[in-house]
Amino acid sequence: MLAIVKDDYDAMSAEAASLVADRMQKKPNLVLGLATGSTPLGLYRELIRLHRDEGLDFSKVTTFNLDEYVGLPPNHEQSYRRFMGDNLFSQVNLDPRFVFLPNGMANDIEAHCDWYEQQIGAAGGIDLQVLGIGSNGHIAFNEPGSSLGSRTRVKTLTRETREDNARFFASPDEVPRYAITMGIGTIMEARELILLATGENKADAVRAASEGPLTAMVPASMLQMHRKAYVILDRAAASKLSGEYVHTYHAASLVRRPR
């Protein structure tokens, strides 16, 4: 793992966008895994700017999203399909044929999860997967205790996760109790990972994931086993990491050497 520490959220987002854009330029038909939530919004804004101002081309890129709530139709204002449409898809030149998201309204969700895994395989696997981290250490909706070899499936959301996401809904009772999520095994098969975290409220989870033991109780700790995992943080999210920092990777980045 490389922990890249930036001064603030905007700098963190620009760093992540620079890495994504670099991979897209090197491989125009990149298979890109995407995340939702407030943390990657800055990344998506910067990718939109790069497309608009510098011609970053998405036309051959294939995307797979990590997760979706069960029971929310695609046009619901809190569905992840709606989120991605509003915050990225509608503003870049992605080909709709190459855009994949779980369908929380599928009639047979188990069969749909199997189909989703098959589509990832048919695309050649995910080249670069963007991740966030929950305050309890979850990645995607793989809550603490999730199988470290899990595949795309339905998960019951913990009370903590539902409370964290309640700010997006009119009331806590409206937060769905279930979600479709890529599994940890699926995520770990991506060739590269970018985990983004911002704010002091994520500092404990970041430290547990980066420096703690490998454990299913902190699903993000599995990133320690990945060959190419970049943890891009603002200073607040990095505030509880230990160890010395050196200038490496991008010249302007402070990067902690992996243990």
pLDDT of residue 68: 96
Distance CA 241, CA 204 (A): 9
DSSP string, the chain: -EEEEESSHHHHHHHHHHHHHHHHHH-TT-EEEE--SSTTHHHHHHHHHHHHHH----TT-EEEESEEETT--TTSTTSHHHHHHHHTGGGS---GGGEE---TT-SSHHHHHHHHHHHHHHTTS-SEEEE---TTS-BTTB-TT--TT--SEEEEPPHHHHHHHGGGSSSGGGS-SEEEE--HHHHHTSSEEEEEE-SGGGHHHHHHHHHS--BTTBGGGGGGG-SSEEEEEETTTTTT--S-EEE-SSTT-EEEPP-
Q: Is 143 a catalytic residue?
A: yes
pTM of the model as a whole: 0.91
Q: Is 76 a catalytic residue?
A: no
Phi, psi of 54 (to 5 degrees): -125, 5
Q: Is 112 a catalytic residue?
A: no
Which of 65, 103, 136, 142 does the annotation list as catalytic? 136
Give pLDDT tens digits along the chain (259 positions).
Answer: 899 999 999 999 999 999 999 999 999 999 999 999 999 999 999 999 999 999 999 999 999 999 999 999 999 988 999 999 999 999 999 999 999 999 999 999 999 999 999 999 999 999 999 999 999 999 999 999 999 999 999 998 888 888 888 888 888 888 889 999 999 999 999 999 999 999 999 999 999 999 999 999 999 999 999 999 999 999 999 999 986 443 334 433 434 444 4
Which of 15, 46, 65, 67 does the annotation list as catalytic? 67
Sign of CA dihedral 102, 152, 39, 249: negative
* Residue 146 domain boundaries: 2-256
Which of 15, 127, 143, 234 does the annotation list as catalytic? 143
Indicate which CATH number applies to the domain containing 177: 3.40.50.1360
Contact yes or no for 209/229 (Cβ under 8 A): no
pLDDT of residue 171: 83
Q: Is 244 a catalytic residue?
A: no
Which position has the token pair 């001064």?
A: 7
Which of 51, 68, 103, 138 does the annotation list as catalytic? 138
Q: How many domains does the chain have?
A: 1
pLDDT of residue 243: 60
* Structure token pair of residue 246: 């050196």
pLDDT of residue 112: 97
Distance CA 100, CA 64 (A): 5
